[in-house]
Amino acid sequence: DSGVTQTPKHLITATGQRVTLRCSPRSGDLSVYWYQQSLDQGLQFLIQYYNGEERAKGNILERFSAQQFPDLHSELNLSSLELGDSALYFCASSANSGGSETQYFGPGTRLLVL
Amino acid sequence: GESVGLHLPTLSVQEGDNSIINCAYSNSASDYFIWYKQESGKGPQFIIDIRSNMDKRQGQRVTVLLNKTVKHLSLQIAATQPGDSAVYFCAEDKVNQGGKLIFGQGTELSVKP
């Protein structure tokens, strides 16, 4: 158990809908990262938040957004969902602002868009 | 573009044998490397890491080797066990660019009893 929690574990929705994925980092960790894992793209970095502020951005679609709250939990919002958004979404956390430090991953949310 | 890639997508070994999983990276500015293990239905699990100022690092039954000359990273697992069966990913990071890990494609390790 990494100490990172994610909810829900599974999510099934329809195209055009909006969903919110939730992540709680390990106790004491200030950074939260979101990754997408799909069969054709592998594990791809989406976005990082550090202590409530956006820190780094990857190839995140404009339809996707995230935020980190004062209690350090984070939410990833996916809107106008398309079939291709079906994937595993992982949250990871690290102690500080990132860069050469270990990231610990949660169990993931499996999103299926029908 | 710069990327991290794995030479072998699948590796099958006998229980008790040693396993070697390889990874090539192209970004010479990367200075931190991590190996993750991912079991079916689970998130990536940290195994071992190494910084660019080191060539070798050992953990419990695992060793990571870094060859900066040829930009090559390897994970050695001693006395491989059935519980080691999983997909293994290497990832690279660079100081001062936040925590944007770049992952390789993964190698599936299958351990035969």
HSE-up of B35 (CA within 13 Å, CB side)? 29
CB A54 within 8 A of CB A35: no
In chain B, what is the greatest distance between 2 CA atoms, to the nearest angstrom? 44
Residues of A in contact with B101 (CB under 8 A): 33, 35, 43, 45, 103
Residue carrying structure tokens 């940290």: B46
Query: Does residue B44 have a cis bond before it (omega within 30 degrees)?
Result: no
Q: What is the mean predicted confidence (pLDDT) over B45-63? A: 96
- Cross-chain Cβ contact B42/A42 below 8 Å: no
Contacting A residues, span 26-85, partner chain B, CB-CB under 8 Å: 31, 33, 35, 42-45, 48, 50, 55-56, 58
B45 touches chain A (CB under 8 A): yes
Which of the four pLDDT bands, split at 50, 70 and 90, describes residue B105?
confident
Chain A contact present for B102, CB below 8 A: yes
Instruction: Write down the mean pLDDT value for chain A.
Output: 94
Amino acid type, B21: I
* Mean pLDDT confidence for B81-109: 88
CA atoms within 13 A of residue A21's CA, in its CB half-sphere? 33
Average pLDDT on B99-112 reads: 90
Asked if the C-beta of B108 comes within 8 angstroms of chain A's C-beta atoms, the answer is no
- Using an 8 Å CB-CB cutoff, list chain A residues near B100: 45, 48, 56, 58, 98
Q: pLDDT > 90: what percent of chain A?
A: 86
Task: Tell me whether A98 touches chain B (CB under 8 Å).
Answer: yes
To which residue do tokens 């991953």 refer? A105
pLDDT score, position A100: 78
Indicate if the pLDDT at residue A79 is higher than 90.
Answer: yes
| Region B77-94 average pLDDT | 94
Residue A1: what pLDDT?
Answer: 86
CA-CA distance, B105 to B108, in Å (whole number)?
Answer: 10
